[in-house]
């Protein structure tokens, strides 16, 4: 590779890192709504009410995975097919109108069928109002997520962070205020989220309406967007079954309170998704399409995979060693002791599953999107069958085992399907070292710490030892020098 190509590769990697950190702030702010709601709601709700809240949220999430029509996922793939800016605005406008139709259908379902859905999911109609607000807020949420996709495409990362902070402050603030007046009312958090998302939508239209939209649509893109989006909907729905079927089985075969405890622990585990996987995906998805024809794309992928698992591994090591100290501060209700294994294995699963964003590139480049539906549905049906057997026998522990298995199967199958269209080289040596250090930390936290606890002060050098091993064995001399320079700069500041 020439010096020019190396400079270009370094610039791309820097762009991925820079925007991932910025989007990380936005992702933290967005997901912090759900994360910070855990101590608020577990303190304000009984385990029964929190379990109802979780299942209503599950229903809204599954509904959104259908009614968004896959348009947000389809947008970057069509957007970069056009070099002309006017055509790109037409693609965005065409996609938005399709998405808006889906959002209106979801809002109508919530208003007309809230009580029916409450009866179907919770076996009582009393949560009908909460279900209606959940579906309405969910529709606004996926519309805004589509608008955020445009901000990512045009690299307006700071604006998305500001909107995310508004979401955080508005949703949490309104929830606290209304729970003070109506303690234990399950409708409150869904109402707060819906009102805040409405403000975000209005702000985007006022600030960027003229620059993002046009009066011209592209009829030919309707078919292309839907042909890409509908298989994505099928995949998303199967993905929701993979993620959320556990709660239903736990509620049916264990208890609603156990479903609430599992849901809280699952959200703690999803923090690796908040801190790294989701921000990375937000910048990576448009970049992988924009740069697909560059000469250094092969080495670019190899580096990105290594850095992805390197960063995720460091987060998992830290989380494993200190989760027993931090978890009681987040989950306020009793019974959190059994949540540690759930949270850590969910973290591990999210990290492995995050490789899907990279390893499936060949399917995206060649529009072989139906492969996603085949894989997701195959794994979803397999997990449903496994849940029916292991959850009645092993409860929460059985649920997290099937979840981890699904998180491994999905990216593995998609990688095997995609490599025939776009082969990706993985640095297996680096990946093996990172995996060994992570498994040592996770294994200690789950198996050994209950019987061989280590004081908090002694965990710090242990964490530094594991992280230092990764740094010494998994980085090149150039990468070590770059990290040292960064640390020196930070120390001077």
3-state secondary structure 212-252: HCCCCCCHHHHHHHHHHHHHHHHHHHHHHHHHHHHHHHHHH
- Predicted confidence at residue 122, as pLDDT, reads 85
Per-residue tens of pLDDT for the chain, all 493 residues = 444 444 554 555 555 544 445 444 555 555 556 666 766 776 777 778 878 888 898 889 888 888 988 898 888 888 888 888 899 999 999 999 999 999 999 999 999 988 999 998 888 888 899 999 999 999 999 999 899 888 878 777 677 777 877 877 877 788 788 777 877 788 888 888 899 999 999 999 999 988 889 989 899 999 989 988 888 888 877 887 887 788 778 878 887 777 777 877 787 888 788 778 877 777 777 778 777 777 777 888 888 888 899 888 998 998 888 887 776 666 555 555 567 888 899 999 999 999 998 999 899 888 888 999 999 999 999 999 999 999 998 888 888 899 999 999 999 999 999 999 998 888 889 899 999 999 999 998 888 888 888 888 888 888 889 888 888 888 888 777 777 776 676 556 5
- Predicted confidence at residue 34, as pLDDT, reads 63
Half-sphere exposure at residue 483, Cβ-oriented, CA atoms within 13 angstroms: 11
Q: Which of 322, 326, 319, 340 is nearest to 457 (CA)?
A: 322
Q: Which of 274, 277, 247 is nearest to 407 (CA)?
A: 277
Q: What is the pTM of this model?
A: 0.71
User: Which residues make Cβ contacts (< 8 Å) with residue 172, sequence separation at least 6?
Assistant: 32, 33, 36, 37, 40, 192
Q: What share of the chain is helix, strand, coil (3-state, %, to 5)?
A: 85, 0, 15
- Predicted confidence at residue 33, as pLDDT, reads 64
Domain ranges of the chain: 3-492
Structure tokens, 26: 């936005």
- Predicted confidence at residue 328, as pLDDT, reads 64
User: Which residues make Cβ contacts (< 8 Å) with residue 467, sequence separation at least 6?
Assistant: 314, 317, 318, 437
- Predicted confidence at residue 334, as pLDDT, reads 54
Residue 404: how many other CB atoms lie within 10 Å = 17
- Predicted confidence at residue 295, as pLDDT, reads 72
């Amino acid at each position: 590779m020439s010096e020019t190509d190396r400079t270009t590769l370094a610039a791309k990697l820097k762009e991925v890192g820079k925007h991932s950190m910025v989007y990380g702030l936005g992702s933290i702010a967005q997901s912090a709504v759900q994360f910070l709601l855990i101590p608020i709601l577990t303190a304000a709700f009984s385990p029964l009410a929190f379990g109802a809240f979780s299942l209503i949220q599950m229903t809204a999430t599954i509904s959104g995975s259908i009614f968004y029509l896959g348009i947000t996922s389809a947008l970057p793939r069509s957007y970069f097919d056009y070099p002309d800016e006017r055509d790109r605005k037409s693609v965005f406008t065409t996609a938005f109108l399709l998405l808006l139709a889906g959002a209106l259908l979801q809002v109508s379902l919530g208003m007309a069928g809230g009580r029916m859905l409450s009866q179907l999911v919770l076996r009582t109609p009393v949560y009908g109002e909460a279900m209606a607000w959940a579906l309405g807020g969910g529709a606004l949420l996926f519309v805004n997520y589509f608008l955020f996709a445009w901000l990512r495409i045009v690299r307006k990362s700071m604006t998305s962070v500001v909107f995310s902070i508004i979401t955080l402050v508005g949703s949490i603030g309104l929830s606290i205020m209304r729970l003070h007046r109506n303690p234990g009312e399950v409708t409150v958090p869904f109402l707060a989220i819906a009102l805040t998302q409405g403000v975000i939508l209005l702000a985007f239209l006022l600030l960027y309406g003229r620059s993002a939209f046009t009066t011209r649509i592209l009829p030919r893109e309707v078919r292309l967007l839907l042909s890409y989006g509908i298989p994505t909907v099928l995949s998303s729905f199967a993905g929701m079954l993979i993620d959320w079927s556990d709660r239903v089985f736990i509620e049916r075969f264990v208890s609603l309170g156990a479903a609430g405890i599992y849901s809280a622990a699952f959200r703690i585990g999803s923090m690796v998704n908040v801190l790294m996987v989701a921000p990375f995906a937000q910048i990576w998805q448009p970049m992988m399409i924009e740069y697909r024809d560059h000469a250094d794309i092969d080495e670019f992928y190899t580096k990105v995979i290594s850095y992805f698992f390197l960063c995720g591994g460091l987060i998992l090591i830290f989380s494993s060693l200190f989760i027993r100290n931090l978890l009681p501060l987040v989950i306020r209700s009793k019974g959190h002791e059994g949540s540690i294994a759930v949270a850590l294995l969910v973290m591990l699963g999210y990290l492995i599953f995050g490789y899907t964003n990279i390893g499936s590139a060949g399917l995206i480049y060649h529009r072989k999107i139906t492969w996603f539906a085949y894989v997701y549905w195959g794994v979803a049906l397999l997990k449903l069958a496994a849940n029916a057997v292991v959850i009645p026998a092993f409860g929460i522990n059985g649920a997290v085992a099937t979840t981890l298995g699904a998180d491994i199967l999905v990216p593995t199958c998609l990688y095997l399907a995609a490599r025939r269209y776009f082969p990706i080289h993985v640095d297996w040596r680096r990946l093996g070292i990172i995996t060994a250090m992570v498994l040592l930390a996770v294994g200690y936290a789950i198996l050994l710490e209950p019987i061989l606890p280590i004081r908090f002060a002694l965990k710090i050098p242990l964490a530094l030892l594991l992280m230092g091993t990764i740094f010494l064995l998994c980085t090149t001399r150039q990468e070590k020098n770059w990290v040292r320079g960064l640390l020196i700069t930070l120390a001077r500041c």
